Amino acid sequence: MSRLKQLYHHHIPARLRWPIGRLRRDLQDALLRLSRRHGPLPPRHVLLKVQSTPWVMEYLDIGRRSAARLQQVLGEAGLNAASRPQVLDLGSGLGRVLRHLEPSGWQLYGCDVDAWSLEWSRRVCDFAELRVNQNDPPLPWPEASFDAVYAVSVFSHFPTARQSRWAAELRRVLKPGGLAVVTTMGPWVFNPLPEGDETSADIDGFWFVPAGHGFNDSAAIHTEEGLRHFFDPHLEMLSWHRGGLDGFQDLSLLRRS
Ligand SMILES: C[S@@+](CC[C@H](N)C(=O)[O-])C[C@H]1O[C@@H](n2cnc3c(N)ncnc32)[C@H](O)[C@@H]1O
């Protein structure tokens, strides 16, 4: 901890640190928006559709880091940018990740059930083909359409029955040998671990915890074993990385054989 931080922690009582921190982030956010350096930014009130805080700084940072990590993982697994691979962002939301991938060389596609978010994201993802899809498969693309599909923070909210349906749908839209990256939350994120509902009770390493009305309010919690329960019938698990999406979610790399 820097000397300045030490002094801050020593002199400012804990009960004041949280509101001060929030004010600081609000101010940083306002300045970032005023600077117009980053092109269109989603209004503050819709950011909670894709993340747990209202700060656009986080939207930009998490999106940029996630995009870099996806390029690294998929590149190392053999996705060759020079061949202009077709890559789908399942649940692309406000384009938090997709907007950073234009320089990747990939041909980009995105889809989401939230028509408003998808429409907004056209402002920053005009290089991608974007389509609205339904809560359940199929996606509006024929089978074997993509060299890779990624889903950031989507399977971490799907209820139990949708986990299997969407794992099967990823297989359907992937070309043979195609790659998938799926990010999820492990039980280590929660202390204590909330009780799962009855739909998840018999699945080792999986808990579905319904809450609130929004998609993001409910949590789907997977260990590697829990994830395999849904994906093994459809895709081969190449690797699983705890905290592999920049420490923020676990990352699984899968392949259609
Ligand atoms: C936590 S947000 C993440 C958005 C984006 N992947 C990102 O990282 O910013 C989850 C997204 O999944 C979308 N979603 C929920 N159910 C879906 C489904 N069945 N098919 C596609 N997208 C879905 C939500 O509308 C929301 O945009």
Pair (121, 14) in one structural domain: no
Q: Whole-model pTM? A: 0.93
Pair (19, 78) in one structural domain: no
Domain boundaries, position 14: 3-35
Q: Tell me the CA–centroid distance for residue 49 and ligand 1, in Å.
A: 8
Pair (137, 116) in one structural domain: yes
Residue/partner pairs of 236-245 with CB below 8 Å, 24 or more apart: 238/77, 238/179, 242/186, 242/188, 244/69, 244/73, 244/183, 245/66, 245/69, 245/152, 245/183
Pair (89, 31) in one structural domain: no
Pair (109, 232) in one structural domain: yes
54: CATH: 3.40.50.150
Pair (241, 221) in one structural domain: yes
With residue 107 as reference, give the H or E element that holds it.
Answer: strand 107-112
Per-residue pLDDT of the chain (257 residues; tens, 9 = 90+): 788 888 888 888 888 888 888 899 899 999 999 998 899 999 999 999 888 889 999 999 999 999 999 999 999 999 999 999 999 999 999 999 999 999 999 999 999 999 999 999 999 999 999 999 999 999 999 999 999 999 999 999 999 999 999 999 999 999 999 999 999 999 998 888 988 999 999 999 999 999 988 888 899 999 999 999 999 999 999 999 999 998 889 999 999 99
Q: Is the CB of 135 under 6 A from ligand 1?
A: yes
Residue nearest to atom 14 of ligand 1 (CA): 91
Q: Is the CB of 147 under 6 A from ligand 1?
A: no
Counting the structural domains of the chain, the total is 2
User: Closest ligand 1 atom, CA of 166?
Assistant: 19
Q: Is the CB of 110 under 6 A from ligand 1?
A: no
